[in-house]
């Protein structure tokens, strides 16, 4: 799983490489860390790194994926930028208006991905097939372009409106 976290003007990429119980091996930007993370109570976590323990309190902010984080004497306003929130921000929910992201309006299962990152696609070309409510739906590119990112794999289950494929418009 990969996501970005924005603190002030800095955006950091975080990738969970491995999880065994409460121990996570993560990559933050280009450096790997091993963290032992335990939920103490709702919104409060104990994080141990190289023998040092920090308690972190995460308080939900005014909007989705925004938090006020207290860690010891430090306070941070944090935004978690996952593929779904990146999609919501970039698209404004408009799938027909030439949106770069292809998504399904309902939860489903990825049946077939017909493109790879870097592939050229034409307007109307089927990019991905999703099964939802016992029906298969083909999702097509709304313009000519290049596949920038595939967010899912065949067999994955998806949430409604989660981005599945991002297409960069042709110039």
Residue 87 domain-assigned (yes or no): no
* Structure confidence at residue 160 (pLDDT): 76
Please give the pLDDT value at position 122. 93
In this structure, are 8 and 75 located in the same domain?
A: yes
Strand partners, 32: 27
Query: Of 29, 50, 81, at which residue does a domain stop?
Result: 81
pLDDT at 120 over 90: yes
- pLDDT over 60 (residue 90): no
Q: Are 161 and 105 in contact (CB under 8 A)?
A: yes
> Given pLDDT bands bounded at 50, 70 and 90, which one contains residue 127?
very high
For 110, the domain range is 94-169
Considering the domain architecture, whether residues 19 and 69 belong to the same structural domain is answered as yes
Residue 107 lies in a domain: yes
pTM of the model: 0.49
Per-residue pLDDT reduced to its tens digit, 133-162: 667 888 889 899 999 999 999 999 988 778
Report if residue 18 sits inside a domain: yes
**Which single residue is written with the structure tokens 């996952």?**
82
Q: Which two tokens stand for residue 9?
A: 């003007």
The Cα-based distances of 61 to 45, 66, 72, 77 in angstroms read 17, 5, 19, 8
- 15-19, 87-91, 115-119: which has the highest mean pLDDT? 115-119
Number of C-beta neighbours around residue 50 at 10 A: 7
Specify whether 67 is located in the same domain as 121: no
How many independent structural domains does the chain possess?
Answer: 2
Same domain, 117 and 157: yes
**Sequence-distant (≥ 6) Cβ neighbours of residue 40 within 8 angstroms:** 46, 55
DSSP 3-state of 115: coil
pLDDT digits (tens, 9 = 90+) for 57-89: 988 877 667 889 999 889 999 887 765 555 444
The answer to whether position 53 is within a domain reads: yes
């Amino acid at each position: 799983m990969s996501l970005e976290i924005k603190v002030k003007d800095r955006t950091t990429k975080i990738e969970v490489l491995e999880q065994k119980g409460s121990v996570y091996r993560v990559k933050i930007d280009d450096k790997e860390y091993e963290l032992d993370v335990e939920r103490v109570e709702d919104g409060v976590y104990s994080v141990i790194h190289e023998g040092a323990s920090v308690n972190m309190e995460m308080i939900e902010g005014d909007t989705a994926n925004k938090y006020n984080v207290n860690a010891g004497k430090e306070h941070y306003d944090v935004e978690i930028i996952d593929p779904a929130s990146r999609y919501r921000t970039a698209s404004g929910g408009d799938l027909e208006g030439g949106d770069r992201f292809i998504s399904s309006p309902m939860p489903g299962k990825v049946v077939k991905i017909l493109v790879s990152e870097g592939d050229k696609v034409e307007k109307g070309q089927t990019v991905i097939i999703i099964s939802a409510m016992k029906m298969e739906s083909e999702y097509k590119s709304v313009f000519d372009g290049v596949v920038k990112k595939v967010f899912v794999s065949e067999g994955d289950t998806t949430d409604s409106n989660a981005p599945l494929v991002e297409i960069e418009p042709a110039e």
